[in-house]
Amino acid sequence: MDHVLSSLSAFLWGLPLILTMVFVGLYFTIGSGFFQFRHLPHILKATFSSIFKKEKTEDGKKGVISSFEAVSTAIGGSVGVANIGGVATAIAVGGPGAIFWMWITALLGMIIKTVEVTLSVYYRSTDENGDPYGGPTYYMEKGLGEERNFKYWIFPAVIFGFGIFSTFFITMQNYTISEAISSTFDIGMIPASILFSILVYFVVWGGIKHIGKLASKLVPAMVLFYVVAGLFIIISNITQMGNVFALIFDGAFGGTAAVGGFAGAAVAQVIHMGMARSVYSNEAGWGISPMIHSTAKVDHPVKQGIWGAFEVFIDTIIVSSITAFTIIITGAWSTGLTGADLTLTAFETGIGSFGRITIAVSILLFGLTTVTGWYSYYEIVLRHLLKGKSKVKNRILKTFIYLYPIPGTLMVVYGVVFGLPGQTVWYFADISSAIPTFINVVVILILGKQFFALLKDYKARYLGIGKIDPDFALFYEDKVERDKKKKAS
Give the whole-angstrom CA distance, residue 219 versus residue 224: 9
382-419: pLDDT as tens digits: 887 777 677 787 788 888 888 888 888 888 888 788 77
Q: What are 65-105's pLDDT values in tens digits?
A: 555 565 555 555 556 666 777 788 888 888 889 999 989 98
Give the per-residue pLDDT at 59.
46
Residues 291/134, Cβ–Cβ less than 8 Å: yes
Angle at 87 between CA 244 and CA 169, to 5 degrees: 175
* Cα 411 to Cα 404: distance, rounded to the nearest angstrom: 13
Instruction: Return the pLDDT at 71.
Output: 56
Under DSSP, is residue 239 helix (H, G, I), strand (E, B) or coil? helix
Q: Bridge-partner residues for 75, per DSSP? A: none
Q: How confident is the model at residue 213 (pLDDT cuts 50, 70, 90)?
A: low
Q: What is the pLDDT of residue 255?
A: 81
Amino acid identity, position 438: F
> Which tens digits make up the pLDDT trace of 298-320?
889 999 999 889 888 888 888 88
Rounded to the nearest 10 degrees, the angle between the axes of helix 154-169 and helix 422-446 is 160
CB count within 10 Å of CB 268 equals 14
**pLDDT at residue number 217:** 66
Instruction: Please tell me the predicted confidence (pLDDT) of residue 396.
Output: 84
Closest CA relative to residue 25, chosen from 133, 104, 136: 104
Query: What would the pLDDT profile of 123-167 be if each residue is shown by its tens digit?
Result: 998 877 777 888 899 999 999 999 999 989 999 998 888 888 777
Residues 6+ apart with CB under 8 A from 468: 457, 460, 461
The answer to whether residues 372 and 171 touch, using CB atoms and an 8 Å cutoff, is no
**pLDDT one-digit tens code per residue, 419-441:** 766 566 666 667 777 888 889 99
CA-based diameter of the chain, in Å?
A: 77
- The closest alpha carbon to 362, from 80, 159, 124, belongs to 80
Sequence-distant (6+) residues with CB within 8 A of 178 are: 189, 190, 192, 193, 196, 412
What is the chain's mean pLDDT, rounded? 81
Query: Residue 238: its pLDDT value, please?
Result: 92
Q: What is the pTM of this model?
A: 0.81
Across 198-207, 233-242, 333-342, least confident range: 198-207
The answer to whether 266 and 255 are in contact (CB under 8 A) is yes
Name residues whose C-beta falls within 8 Å of residue 334's C-beta, 6 or more positions apart in sequence.
Answer: 259, 260, 261, 262
Q: Which domains does the chain have, with CATH numbers?
A: 2-488 (1.20.1740.10)
In tens, the pLDDT along 450-488 reads 999 999 999 999 999 989 998 899 999 888 888 788 777
At 247-294, the pLDDT tens digits run: 999 888 888 877 777 777 878 888 878 887 777 677 778 888 888 888
**Separation between Cα atoms, residue 37 and residue 47, nearest integer Å:** 15
Cβ atoms of 334 and 260 closer than 8 Å: yes
Q: Which H or E run contains 65?
A: strand 65-66
Q: How far is CA 449 from CA 119, 134, 198, 378, 406, in A?
A: 11, 19, 45, 28, 42
Considering only CA atoms, which of 63, 281, 291 is closest in space to residue 165? 291
Q: What is the reported pLDDT for 423?
A: 62
CA distance 376 to 374: 5
What does the pLDDT look like over 373-388, one tens digit per residue?
777 778 777 887 777 6
Least Cα distance to 426 among 328, 340, 298, 305 occurs for 340
pLDDT value of residue 63: 47
In the chain, % helix, strand, coil (3-state, to 5) comes to: 80, 0, 20
Return the minimum-mean-pLDDT range out of 107-121, 179-193, 201-215: 201-215
pLDDT: which is higher, 359 or 191: 191
What average pLDDT does this structure show over 231-257? 90
